[in-house]
Structures are given as C-alpha cells and as structure tokens.
Amino acid sequence: MLQREKYFSLFKLMRADKPIGTALLLWPTLTAFFILTNGNPDFVLVVLFIIGTFLMRSAGCVINDYFDKDFDGKVDRTKDRPIVTGEISPKEALVLFAVLVLSSTSLLLWMNPFTFFIAVIGFALATIYPLSKRFFSVPQVFLGLAFSWGIMMVSAAELNEINTTSLLLFGSCFFWIIAYDTAYALCDKDDDLNLGINSSAIALGENVVIFFFLFHTISLFILLYVGFSLSFHPSFYFFALMAFILAIYQCFLIKEQESKQCLKAFKNNNWLGLTIFLGSIMGVSL
C-alpha cells in the first residue's frame, strides 16, 4: 500500500493528473507537423513527439517543484505539492527528473543529428525557466521560448532545417504562451507579491488585460500571415476567427483578476489550441 501511495505521489509530481499542460504543449507541435509538411507528417515522428511532449512536460514540472520547494508551501494553490508535504524527497525528485529526461532523450535516436542539437537548446531553456522567476521581471518570456521549442524540433526532424514558416509559427506560439501563462500567473499574484516572485501579471500591473489581448492578437495575426502566404483553404480563417472569439472571452474572464476566473481563462486555451490545430488541418488538406 505504501508503495502504491509513493507511485501516486510521483504521478502527482509529474502533473500526470493534470493533462492540460501536456495539451497546451501538444497543440502547437501538432499544428507545426501539419503546416510544415503540407498535411503529410511522418506518423512515426508524430508518435515520438507525443510521447516526448508528455515526458518533457513531466520533467519540467518535477524540476520546477524542486526549485520552488521553499516557496510552494507559502502559496495556497501549491501548498499540497508532493515535495512540500514530504511525500517525495528532493533527492527522489531529482532521480525522477533524470529518468524522464533520459527517457525523452532516447527518443532522439530515431531522429537526425540536427534535431538532437535543437533538443539540447530546448532542454537548457526548460531548465532555466523555473529559475527565471527569481531574476527576470517577466519569466513568461523564458516559458514562451521553452514551450514553443517543440516547433523548432518538428522543423528539424521533418525538414532538417529551420525555415521561415517554422520561425513564424514559433513566434505565434511564443506570444500565445505569454498570454495564457499571464492568466495563470494572475491566480497567484498576491502570493507572488508577498514572496517577491516575478511574473508578467505583476510587471504589467493595471494594463495586464490590455497586454493579454495584445499577445493573443499578435499570435493570431502571425498565424493569419502564415495562412495567407501558404494559400490555406478559406476554412482556416473561420477557425482563426473562432480562436479570436475565445481570446476575447478570456479577456472578460480575467478582467476582475479573480483567481478562479483566471484559472478558467488559462484552461480555456486548451480549446483555443485545439481550434487552431483543426484549422491548420483544414487549411492544408482542403
């Protein structure tokens, strides 16, 4: 029974019980697969990336909790995390992190050397992000770089290069991530202020809703440019409009900066990401 509880605690540390994070990583990655290959992605690569996304997202959660172990107990939303409660020791967390990273790295054996090189940069960004809250006023920038990096890896794996379209998709994803993580940061704004932890929710102050909308708008405009430049089917623009409506809805949710509503806005991005993914399939396939 104790062993079962230990496994469940490891499961929680990986946030495997909260798949929203994996979904938010997967949608832009899958979108990149379809756009960069004009609707003909390598099935094996898609499967490998889905597995790798889960593993690296889990690794990111583990190392984040390890670095934040002295803060999480003072934040209401994170006070029950396994390292804080003692269910998992810091040493056990590091071992789990190593296992997840090594497992993810093993997937690169089926990919070209350029993808491995790009993956090393992505790993560095993912490791830096949890620490950036201590020295950078808008750590969401590092999260945006780290979480968008899957697009670069898709480009490397499928095309063996980083082309203009992949850079545009990276930029679009980057601004989308800053937007949704700003909503997430609003959930902990008061606790972060008390602990001296930086976030975009704090840095943007009273203008946070305006910038939230701006980030979403920039993200979608870049996608529209990609669609126009690649002559996507008109149905793509319908899905882009639906995504824009969801972004406006999220603005209303975060307007009062109430924690539960901000979390709702954050989770709503799962639907926004899915909408763009479906739009990309229609855009390149019809």
Given a cut of 70, the residues of the chain with pLDDT beneath it are: 1-2
Domain count, the chain: 1
* Tally of helices (H runs) and strands (E runs) in the chain: 13, 0
The structure tokens listed for 63 are 């190392």
* pLDDT of res. 2: 62
State how far the Cα of 113 lies from the Cα of 227, in Å rounded to an integer.
30
Helices (H), the chain: 2-13, 20-36, 43-67, 82-85, 90-106, 113-132, 140-159, 164-187, 189-195, 200-203, 208-229, 235-254, 259-285
pLDDT value at position 1?
41
> CA–CA separation, 59 vs 53, rounded Å?
10
Query: What confidence score (pLDDT) does residue 68 get?
Result: 86
H or E segment and range at residue 96? helix 90-106
CATH code of the domain covering residue 52: 1.10.357.140
Give per-residue pLDDT as tens, 237-271. Answer: 999 999 999 999 999 999 999 999 999 999 999 99
Spatial separation of the C-alpha atoms in residues 277 and 285, rounded to whole Å: 12
pLDDT digits (tens, 9 = 90+) for 62-71: 999 999 888 8
Q: What DSSP state is assigned to residue 87?
A: S
User: Structural domain of residue 118, as residue ranges?
Assistant: 2-285
